[in-house]
Structure 1
Amino acid sequence: MAHLLGGESLHLEYPTKVVFDSVTLGIAEGDRIGIVGRNGDGKSTLLGMLAGLVEPDGGRVTVRGGVRVGVLDQADTLADDDTIRSAVVGDRPEHEWAGDARTRDVLAGLLGDLPWESRLGDLSGGQRRRVALAHLLAQDWDVMFLDEPTNHLDVEAITWLAGHLKRRWPAGSGGLLVVTHDRWFLDEVCTMTWEVHDRIVEAFEGGYAAYILQRVERDRMAASSEARRQNLARKELAWLRRGAPARTSKPRFRIDAANALIEDVPEIRDKTALQSLALSRLGKDVVDLLDAGVSYGDHTVLRDVEWRIAPGERTGILGVNGAGKSTLLGLVAGSLAPTEGRVKRGKTVKVATLTQRLDELEAHLNDPVRVVLERLRTSYSFGTGSKTQELTPGQLLERLGFSSAQLSTPVKDLSGGQKRRLQLLLILLEQPNVLILDEPTNDLDTDMLAAMEDLLDSWPGTLIVVSHDRYFLERVTDNQFAILDARLRHLPGGVDEYLRLRALQDAAPTSSAGSAAAGPASGLSGADLRTAKKEVAALERRIGKVQGEVDAARAALAEHDHADYEGLAARMARITAAETDVAAMEERWFVLTEEIG
């Protein structure tokens, strides 16, 4: 493949730190490269050097003649007085940009909800970031450098961006270098991964899953001293191989080697033990939303919400910005009262919320981390059953990636990712039994995300997560719900089902009035269509009920006399039969939803 650009013997250092030492690498036609590594190790700096934005102290960057390079960095260079139109298409005539399929696709994928003539100074930071990305993607480039392009994008926009980048250039042409902590995006788009660590850049074939396998092999062969990091990687690999069926066909790594590496790795969560412990801490009643709704004047945010949250339940919530996710969390947390229906809360429920605002740190900004810890509990119970251990706050911080030297750092001087991890620690030390995470992955690198996931695997309580990070959502939750048309809807098919439903929802307004009234094209007659929709609704209710019974039965197993083998076998047989029923109902649900369209 033809060389596009590269760096030779790159050296960069700051007064207190050498960032890169004699790094040589290159980008060829057809390369789609993801950059990973811990925060502060130089990912964005490497991208900046190759893009010509950062001058190395030694070595050189070469670009093949005629190669056009486009860059999305972290800086906001948009002029406040510009409009979205002028920022994205400049002074190009309307017939020119409107007639260009790529430009239309970019506008629909990123800016469909924003008025075309809006002044940039009136937009939020996230909206301005989307405009900058649209401006870049609407132009022709041979190589593109993207620094955290998924920031401020929801699940749908991230999915669109992945598809756009995969089809942007013909196979074997163009070059892409992307820094992102979104592991689903890395797996979906990238064919090579560069890991930045210890002043070097190490190349791995494949996306994130393939990189994890090769890193485990590397660490094992080198007898790496980073035992904790290695174990987390092996655990994550086990989940990738066992827990993500939709992804297994994408990473092209050796399955036999992967199975050999994870054969002694247990399931990522002991669901029975966690549910049993959650039941003992919470009782049978957690939070029940009973025909709950919230309206502001004539505007209905939520309606007819029926959700009985079980002890130990792990649920992800999806929905577009403004759909009502924060309102739903407010009902669960008790900070918001419904305007219709009611919310029933168990007597022992203690809810804690990891917000996006870092509120928990406001009172500690001038204090060193060590002083903050001294005011907290002396220990924290971690794990389940025989694996339960008592960790000090300092040990827990170490597990979340803090070094002993950082304990003397004032909270205000911590990085965004460090503040996020300290915020989680403060909440966990309150010993809540219902934990709400609202966009918890902001500012965290892939290693720290894995550390947070590992911590949550042994957290014995009810977990509710709102996140645009698809990988994290699928990794830490067992089922997903979406807010669609102000209603809460269970998603047996997970994120893929949500994206399909949203695509149908977006397509509906574009059809004629007659066809919109009749619903999506399905091939069913009006009567059959109504019958199918009723059956789908009934199946969703039945699936939710039976799955709740299964979860409760599994939790009860922990209290059963294990010497009573016959009774235990009978209970397991009933659970297995119920799970078989759920699988059959879900299969029927999929068939019907395909017929409905």
Structure 2
Amino acid sequence: MELIKINHLTVNVAAKKLFEIASLGINSKQKIGLIGNNGVGKTTLMKLIADISNPSEQIKATGSITRLCNWAYVPQLLNAQDKSGGQREKLAISRAIAQLRNAPKALLLLDEPTSNLDFEQQKWLINLIRGLKSSCLIISHDQHFLNQVCDTIWCVKDQRVITFKGTYSEFKRAQEKQAARVQLEYNEQEKHLNQLKASFKRHAKQAGSFSHPKKHISSSDWRSKSLGKVKAANNVARATKNLSRRIEKEAKTLTRPVFRKQITLKNGAAQMKNEAIAPKSKALRLNPQKVVAYHKLLFTIEQEVNLTYQNKLILTGANGVGKSIFLKELFKRKLTGFYHPQLQIGYFTQNIIKLQSDQTVLEAIMKSSIFATSVTMQVLGDLHLWQIRHQKIENLSGGQLVCFNLARILTGKYNLLLLDEPTNFLDLEALAALVDFIAAYPYALIIVSHDRSFIEQLGLPKWMINHQRLSTKVAASKQSSASNDNNLELLKFQRDQLMLNPEASVTKIKQLTAEIEQLQNH
């Protein structure tokens, strides 16, 4: 049963076409993931379906959207980087579902619902949507989430909406196969064009041989002796002209496929050598201490924590445990410990502060970048800042400002980056580029993220804040060893007590002895 019907829809923003849809629909129980690069019109499309208009937006839409259902819309929760962000998101989604509970035909519209959710809250949302009988249209850049809940993908690209029945991973594989076919076709066309150009050169050379007399022969004698070759000369000239036309025509239709080059961070590694900082030297060492905020204990660093200039890691933990506070305190150097004299910390946070600057995006980034010009330009392109490179920083929108701040921190004169949820405002292409950047980055990084696919792609070691403790791999190993020692002593005590009891079970004593031996051999 069709819930939404879209026909001949064309959407323009400030007299520029955003996208067009010939025919599209949403059916009962369908779970649709709406994806695409930032700025292509995903939220605009969702708002049009939800019949929400904003007078301040210069949006003009022609065509029709027929709504044959009840619907509820949950917008993206922006600037909610506090401990209650996830709870606020859960509450908004729960209210929307309650609003649709008694509707026989219902559609839930969610814009980036996982941005503020930790892993447990994401699991809650995945199970919730899976169990819903309502249809869903969900804007998301979270690949894991899309794979878990969506059976259909809508991709806004090149001013149209591509539809695909299947999971996001299946859609991605189909797109990769299509890209491979396009590349193969391009290679064949390019090969044929080169053959035509080679043939043209041969014909042009042959035509030239007909038009020039040989040495020591007058022009009149040459023409009289070459009358039989005039026809051949004319044929060659016509063939050359035809080849020229074919080459011009095929060259116009030959379009090189767009693909992203793998990033190489030139200059950065050289700067490290210039500063005489060995990669394995300590960037910082944190003493055991309590981390407190607003007169409340968040967690304890129980063991000494070391970070070298080549360490890259993920900091995980539920919302509210203190991850962002930890990065902030580290940036301000308020945590007690040793900080290398040449340590330069770059700190990215989602909190948007409007910058008053006459500088353009390009001027500001180029002034502070430690990398080669080509690399810096590529980062601007990856974060979709290239098209606004000549725009003044003070005129940037909120989303553009977040991407500018991220680009400024990534390319800046730092050797330790603290990145707090850098993926929230990035589309899927920018996310893939960020993974490449981090893999190639020559310095230390600590990243806070709840994006499972992003974390899996990075494959970095993890620190975790759990049960009010910061656990690193080394610390966790020591804690595990200490726990084993405690268990061993307890089991020995229990066995000794049983051996002193004449009524104790021999089987139980043997069982405890086996457990003791197992721990001793561990």
- Band the TM-score falls in, shorter-chain normalisation: 0.5 to 0.7
> Offset at 1:128?
4.7
1:344 matched to 2:346: no
Aligned residues of 1:368 and 1:408 also touching (Cα < 8 A): yes
Match of 1:308 in 2: 306
Aligned residues of 1:279 and 1:312 also touching (Cα < 8 A): no
> Offset at 1:182?
2.0
How far apart in 1 are the matches of 2:86 and 2:422?
17
Match of 2:460 in 1: 478
Aligned residues of 1:314 and 1:476 also touching (Cα < 8 A): no
Structure 1 residues 63 and 429 mapped into 2: Cα distance closer, same or farther (>3 Å)? Answer: closer
How far apart in 1 are the matches of 2:179 and 2:61?
31
> Offset at 1:407?
1.9
Match of 2:315 in 1: 317
Match of 1:80 in 2: none
Task: Give a deviation string over 1:4-53, Cα, whole Å, max 9, x none.
Answer: 32212222223421122243111223321101111111111222233333
Match of 1:162 in 2: 126
Code of the aligned partner of 1:8: N
What is the count of residue pairs matched by the alignment? 395
> Offset at 1:211?
2.2
Code of the aligned partner of 1:73: P
1:372 matched to 2:364: yes
Aligned residues of 1:465 and 1:477 also touching (Cα < 8 A): no
1:398 matched to 2:381: yes
Task: Give a deviation string over 1:548-583, Cα, whole Å, max 9, x none.
Answer: xxxxxxxxxxxxxxxxxxxxxxxxxxxxxxxxxxxx
TM-score when normalising by structure 1: 0.58
How far apart in 1 are the matches of 2:426 and 2:282?
34
Structure 1 residues 135 and 59 mapped into 2: Cα distance closer, same or farther (>3 Å)? Answer: same
> Offset at 1:201?
0.4
For residue 463 of structure 2, give the secondary structure of its aligned residue in structure 1: strand
Task: Give a deviation string over 1:215-266, Cα, whole Å, max 9, x none.
Answer: 222223234745334x67xx9xxxxxxxxxxxxxxxxxxxxxxxxxxxxxxx
> Offset at 1:487?
0.6
Aligned residues of 2:286 and 2:335 also touching (Cα < 8 A): no
1:287 matched to 2:284: yes
Task: Give a deviation string over 1:361-399, Cα, whole Å, max 9, x none.
Answer: 7353x432233245445x615xxxxxxxx6364454234
For residue 408 of structure 1, give the secondary structure of its aligned residue in structure 2: coil
How far apart in 1 are the matches of 2:403 and 2:257?
20
How far apart in 2 are the matches of 1:395 and 1:62?
42
Match of 1:218 in 2: 178
> Offset at 1:334?
5.1
For residue 163 of structure 1, give the secondary structure of its aligned residue in structure 2: helix
Code of the aligned partner of 1:322: G
Code of the aligned partner of 1:463: L
Aligned residues of 2:9 and 2:63 also touching (Cα < 8 A): yes
Q: Return the match for 2:348 from 354, 357, 366.
A: 354
Q: Return the match for 1:228 from 232, 235, 259.
A: 259
For residue 434 of structure 2, give the secondary structure of its aligned residue in structure 1: helix
How far apart in 2 are the matches of 1:531 and 1:314?
40
For residue 453 of structure 2, give the secondary structure of its aligned residue in structure 1: helix
Structure 1 residues 126 and 57 mapped into 2: Cα distance closer, same or farther (>3 Å)? Answer: same
How far apart in 2 are the matches of 1:368 and 1:417?
16
Code of the aligned partner of 1:345: Y
> Offset at 1:160?
0.9
Match of 2:436 in 1: 454
> Offset at 1:131?
3.0
Match of 1:421 in 2: 403
> Offset at 1:298?
7.3
Q: Unpaired runs of 5+ in structure 1?
A: 77-112, 115-123, 236-267, 382-389, 495-525, 533-590, 593-597
How far apart in 2 are the matches of 1:529 and 1:133?
50
Code of the aligned partner of 2:70: R
Code of the aligned partner of 1:354: F
Structure 1 residues 442 and 453 mapped into 2: Cα distance closer, same or farther (>3 Å)? Answer: same
Match of 1:150 in 2: 114
Match of 2:62 in 1: 58
How far apart in 1 are the matches of 2:294 and 2:10?
61
What value does the CA root-mean-square deviation take over the aligned residues? 3.8
Code of the aligned partner of 2:321: A
Structure 1 residues 487 and 199 mapped into 2: Cα distance closer, same or farther (>3 Å)? Answer: same
Aligned residues of 2:6 and 2:25 also touching (Cα < 8 A): yes
How far apart in 2 are the matches of 1:160 and 1:354?
28
Structure 1 residues 481 and 392 mapped into 2: Cα distance closer, same or farther (>3 Å)? Answer: closer
Which moves more between the two structures, 207-216 or 303-312? Answer: 303-312
> Offset at 1:281?
4.3
How far apart in 1 are the matches of 2:50 and 2:437?
37
For residue 362 of structure 1, give the secondary structure of its aligned residue in structure 2: coil
Aligned residues of 2:182 and 2:257 also touching (Cα < 8 A): no
Match of 2:74 in 1: 72
Aligned residues of 1:311 and 1:462 also touching (Cα < 8 A): yes
How far apart in 1 are the matches of 2:347 and 2:472?
22
How far apart in 1 are the matches of 2:162 and 2:117?
29
> Offset at 1:465?
0.5
How far apart in 2 are the matches of 1:463 and 1:325?
14
Structure 1 residues 282 and 349 mapped into 2: Cα distance closer, same or farther (>3 Å)? Answer: farther
Aligned residues of 1:34 and 1:177 also touching (Cα < 8 A): yes
Code of the aligned partner of 2:61: D
How far apart in 1 are the matches of 2:295 and 2:409?
37
Task: Give a deviation string over 1:42-74, Cα, whole Å, max 9, x none.
Answer: 11122223333359733322344xx33222235
Structure 1 residues 195 and 279 mapped into 2: Cα distance closer, same or farther (>3 Å)? Answer: farther
> Offset at 1:458?
1.0
Match of 1:503 in 2: none
Aligned residues of 1:6 and 1:50 also touching (Cα < 8 A): no
Match of 2:8 in 1: 9
Match of 2:499 in 1: none
Match of 1:441 in 2: 423
Aligned residues of 1:4 and 1:63 also touching (Cα < 8 A): yes
For residue 282 of structure 2, give the secondary structure of its aligned residue in structure 1: coil
Code of the aligned partner of 2:117: L
How far apart in 1 are the matches of 2:19 and 2:294?
58
Code of the aligned partner of 2:348: L
For residue 7 of structure 2, give the secondary structure of its aligned residue in structure 1: strand
Structure with larger Rg: 2
> Offset at 1:127?
5.5
For residue 33 of structure 2, give the secondary structure of its aligned residue in structure 1: strand
Aligned residues of 2:147 and 2:168 also touching (Cα < 8 A): yes
Mapping for residues 493-532 of structure 1, pairs under 5 Å: none
Aligned residues of 1:196 and 1:202 also touching (Cα < 8 A): yes
Structure 1 residues 325 and 177 mapped into 2: Cα distance closer, same or farther (>3 Å)? Answer: same
How far apart in 1 are the matches of 2:295 and 2:407?
41
Q: Unpaired runs of 5+ in structure 2?
A: 54-58, 184-254, 477-485, 493-517
Task: Give a deviation string over 1:154-203, Cα, whole Å, max 9, x none.
Answer: 2321221111101222xxxx311101222221121111211101221001
How far apart in 1 are the matches of 2:295 and 2:39?
49
TM-score when normalising by structure 2: 0.66
